[in-house]
Amino acid sequence: MTDAFSRPDSILVLGATSDIARALVGQLVADGCERVVLAGRDPDRLSDAATEAKDAGARLVTTTTFDATQINEAAAVVDWGFSAGGRIDLVVVAVGLLSDQPEDERDPVRVARCISVNFTWPAAALARVAHHLREQGAGRAVVLSSVAGVRVRRSNYIYGSAKAGLDAYARTLNQSLVGSGGSVMVVRPGFVVSRMTEGRKAPPIASTTESVAKDTVRGLERGAAVVWSPTSLQGIFTILRLLPEVIWRRLPF
The site map against other proteins for 184-203 (x = CB under 8 A) is --------------------
The site for other proteins, by CB under 8 A, has a size of: 37
Binding to other proteins in span 44-63, by CB under 8 A: 59-60, 62
Looking at beta carbons only, is 8 or 165 nearer to other proteins? 8
6, 69, 197, 208: which one binds other proteins (CB under 8 A): 6
Find out whether 52 and 26 touch, Cβ atoms under 8 Å.
yes
84 lies in the binding site for other proteins (CB under 8 A): yes
| Segment (H or E) for 10 | strand 10-14
Three-state DSSP at 29 gives helix
CB of residue 216 to other proteins, shortest distance in Å: 14
Among 22, 41, 113, 132, binds other proteins (CB under 8 A): 132
- Min CB(212)–other proteins separation in Å: 16
Question: From the CB of 106, what's the least distance to other proteins, in Å?
Answer: 42
Would you count residue 131 as binding other proteins (CB under 8 A)?
A: yes
Binding to other proteins (CB under 8 A) within 203-232 occurs at 218, 221-223
- Indicate the DSSP class of residue 231: T
In angstroms, rounded to a whole number, what is the distance separating the alpha carbons of residues 23 and 249?
Answer: 35
Q: Binding residue for other proteins (CB under 8 A) from 26, 28, 35, 166?
A: 35
Is 169 among the residues known to form the active site?
no
Give, to the nearest 10 degrees, the angle between helix 108-115 and helix 157-176.
30
Residue 19 contacts other proteins per CB under 8 A: no
Q: Is 9 in the site for other proteins (CB under 8 A)?
A: yes
Footprint (CB under 8 A) of other proteins, residues 91-130: none
**Dihedral of the CA atoms 203, 160, 209, 36 (nearest 10)?**
180
What's the burial of 189, exposed, middle or buried (CB within 10 Å: 0-12/13-18/19+)?
buried
Q: Please report whether residue 4 would count as binding other proteins according to CB under 8 A.
A: yes
C-alpha angle 99/22/41, rounded to 5°? Answer: 50
Helices (H), 146-196: 157-176
The rounded distance, in Å, linking the Cα atoms of 8 and 35 is 9
Residue 1 binds other proteins, judged by CB under 8 A: yes
CB < 8 Å & 24+ apart, contacts of 107-113 = 111/158, 113/69
The DSSP H or E segment spanning 207 is strand 206-208
The one catalytic residue in 66, 82, 119, 159 is 159
Active site amino acids: 159
* Interacting residues with other proteins (CB under 8 A): 1-7, 9, 31-32, 35, 59-60, 62, 79, 82-87, 131-132, 134-139, 179-182, 218, 221-223
